[in-house]
A and B are shown apart, each in its own frame.
Chain A
Amino acid sequence: GAGVSQSPSNKVTEKGKDVELRCDPISGHTALYWYRQSLGQGLEFLIYFQGNSAPDKSGLPSDRFSAERTGGSVSTLTIQRTQQEDSAVYLCASSLRGASTDTQYFGPGTRLTVL
C-alpha cells in the first residue's frame, strides 16, 4: 500500500513568514512522529502523536513550532515567524501502534529553506 507522504517536498520562504508542512501517515497507523535534520546534524525528534492521547511535545525547539493531528490521521507542523536556523529537512514517520518494538516508516521529507 501507499507509504508515508509529505508535502510540499520543497519549501522556500522568507524570514518571518509562517509555514505549514503536511504529513499523511500510512493508513491504520496510530503513531506519528515529526523529526528534522539540519545541515550536518543528526535527526532531531520534534513531536510524537499516539492515537487520541496528548502529544509528546518535548522535542519542539521553541513556541514558534506547533503541530496538530486531525482525526488521528493527517498531521500539520506549523512554524511561525520562521528564522534562518529553521532551515532543515523535516521528516514525518508513522508506526502501527507506537510501541518501541514497532518499525517507523518514514516519508520523503520536506526541505525547508528560510531566506
Chain B
Amino acid sequence: GDSVTQMEGPVTLSEEAFLTINCTYTATGYPSLFWYVQYPGEGLQLLLKATKADDKGSNKGFEATYRKETTSFHLEKGSVQVSDSAVYFCALENYGQNFVFGPGTRLSVLP
C-alpha cells in the first residue's frame, strides 16, 4: 500500500539556519502531497500542498516541490526562526483513498 517516509528527528538548528526535512513516498498513481505542522499545544495545520508533479507549494517561507521522478516532497526553509519550532508531518492523499501520514519530524530552533 501507499506509504510515507520522513526523517524522524529531532532536528535541532540555530536561528537563521537552513532547514531541510526529507520526505519520500510510495504510491500508485498521482497522489496529492502535503506538509502539516503542529505547533506546541495546538492542533495540526496545513502548511502547504502540491497536487501534481513539479508543483511547488509554499507558505510562511517554507517550500516543497513535488518530484515524481524521485518520489520526494522535501520541505525547505532558508532561514528558520524560533517560532518555527514544531512537529512537521509529510502526508499524501491518493485519489479515492485516505490520508497516509509520515511519523512526523520534531524541529527545535535555538536562539
Query: Using a CB–CB distance below 8 Å, which chain A residues touch chain B?
Result: 9, 33, 35, 37, 41-43, 45, 48, 59, 89, 91, 100-101, 103-106, 108-111
Interchain nearest-CB distance for A62 vs B (Å): 18
Contact A109/B98 with A43-B45, A103-B103 known, Cβ cut-off 8 Å: yes
Contacts of B101 in A (CB 8 A): 106
Contacts of A59 in B (CB 8 A): 43
Known contacts A41-B46, A89-B99, A105-B103; 20 additional CB pairs below 8 A are A33-B43, A35-B43, A35-B44, A37-B99, A42-B44, A42-B45, A43-B36, A43-B44, A43-B46, A45-B44, A48-B43, A89-B93, A101-B106, A103-B103, A103-B104, A103-B106, A104-B44, A104-B87, A108-B100, A110-B98
By size class, the interface of chain B is 10 to 19
Can you show 11 pairs from A to B with CB atoms below 8 A apart?
A37-B99, A42-B44, A43-B43, A43-B45, A45-B44, A104-B87, A104-B104, A106-B99, A108-B100, A109-B98, A110-B98
Interface of A, secondary structure class, is: strand
Give the docked Cα–Cα distance between A67 and B59 (Å).
33
Query: Using a CB–CB distance below 8 Å, which chain B residues touch chain A?
Result: 36, 38, 40-46, 87, 89, 93, 98-101, 103-104, 106
